[in-house]
Structure 1
Amino acid sequence: MLKLALFLSCSCVLIDAASVSTVAAESVPVELVGTWLAEDIGGGGVIDYLQTTLEINDDGTYSGFAGCNNYTGTFDLKGGEIVFGPAGSTRKLCVPAVMDQETKFFEALKTGLSWKIEETKLVLAQADTKIALRLAPHTVSSDVLINIPGARTVDRQMVRYDCAGQSVAAEYINAGPVSLVTLTIGGEFVIASNVLSASGAKYAGGQYVWWTKGDEATLIDTMKGEDVAGITCSKAA
């Protein structure tokens, strides 16, 4: 029995890979390949600001971000079904609502699912035709042009931080009255806007708060609760 040891974040997860074999690249339909964003899980919808993604690769592997944890695994194709093997994932804990969505997502992947493309959406259904997942194409990157009245110049500064062993890239963007920071945290990309603060510069975007004071910053994940102190980050050498 083959065991795959996957080192993700700070966790080591063992996956039993005997039940699913990797699909040959030429066997994966091109319309399946790509990164998909969950819009519906088991008919229950999803949390608006929480992105649950599924990346299907042409080498027979799949991966993504389930809402709290990153994951990866292999899949097989049998007739009109896609069968996802057990996923290895990191073991972070988030607030109950997030963990509930993540659990439902992983549960939806446990059985063989028929698949079809409806317009641009990927629909995965169970044997009883009940929809397990409805996913939309997930654009990895795009350019957005924002016209800011009165802003004659744009100042951009890229800084890399070490946040308790995790690398975080921050780009500060200042244009007239607008002050933003983009954060690349692992596989996540977040845009945060400046908010009022008694000291330092404080930004909020998605589930994160980014608070800078001098050469240090604090990264706060609000999904972990209101009383979480956050992670202290220092500028990387």
Structure 2
Amino acid sequence: MSSLLKKLSLGIVASVLCVACQSNDIEKEQEMVALMLTGQIWNLTTLAGAPAIVGESNKAVSIEFLIESNTYRGYAGCNNYSGRFETADNNLEIGPARATRKFCQNTSEQENKLFNALSSVDNYKIIDKTLTVSDDLNQVLAVFTIK
């Protein structure tokens, strides 16, 4: 009888440990997604379903998320910009962008659309080095890729 109790006890302990391992795996996966969002420069490929226009001097429009300060920064095609962000799971809230104030005829309209899109971001997903940001209705706002 005590042998059976020992086996049952070991089985219960193993089950609890297995659940804990799965929980840790989920947490690690979420951390990896967060780490994938941060620490790289994302280049804009589409905005509101249209191909992105390359910025002045043929420089790509970009965004970079810095986890240590919960800030983002980037190049909008003419102006540099920055702000704060918060992320949890696949939710992403991007605060208002502060930008330099140059005017560039070819990119000013896209810059305005980019800043409006960023302020509407609710969630994101990363698949194969592609970052897709969407609003609260899961409508795609912009797509970025890693350089």
Matched residues, number: 112
Secondary structure of 1:109 counterpart:
helix
TM-score when normalising by structure 2: 0.69
Return the index of the structure with the highest Cα Rg: 2
CA distance in 2: counterparts of 1:58 and 1:136, whole angstroms:
18
Secondary structure of 1:107 counterpart:
helix
Q: Deviations along 1:80-133, whole A, 9 cap, x unmatched?
A: 2111111111100111x3101111110111123211112111111112222111
TM-score when normalising by structure 1: 0.44
CA distance in 1: counterparts of 2:111 and 2:59, whole angstroms:
10
Contact 2:121 2:141 in 1 (8 A): no
CA distance in 1: counterparts of 2:126 and 2:89, whole angstroms:
16
Partner of 2:48: 42
Partner of 1:30: 35
Partner of 2:94: 84
Map 1:150-229 onto structure 2 (within 5 A): none
Specify which structure has the bigger relative contact order, considering alpha-carbon pairs within 8 angstroms and separated by 6 or more residues.
Answer: 2
CA distance in 2: counterparts of 1:81 and 1:112, whole angstroms:
9
| C-alpha displacement of 1:44 | 1.2
Secondary structure of 1:31 counterpart:
helix
Partner of 1:105: 114
Contact 2:121 2:133 in 1 (8 A): no
Question: Identity percentage over the alignment?
Answer: 31
Q: Which structure has the highest helix share of the two? A: 2
CA distance in 2: counterparts of 1:94 and 1:75, whole angstroms:
27
Partner of 1:66: 76
Map 1:143-154 onto structure 2 (within 5 A): none
CA distance in 2: counterparts of 1:87 and 1:47, whole angstroms:
19
Alignment gaps of 5+ in structure 2: 1-30
Partner of 2:65: 56
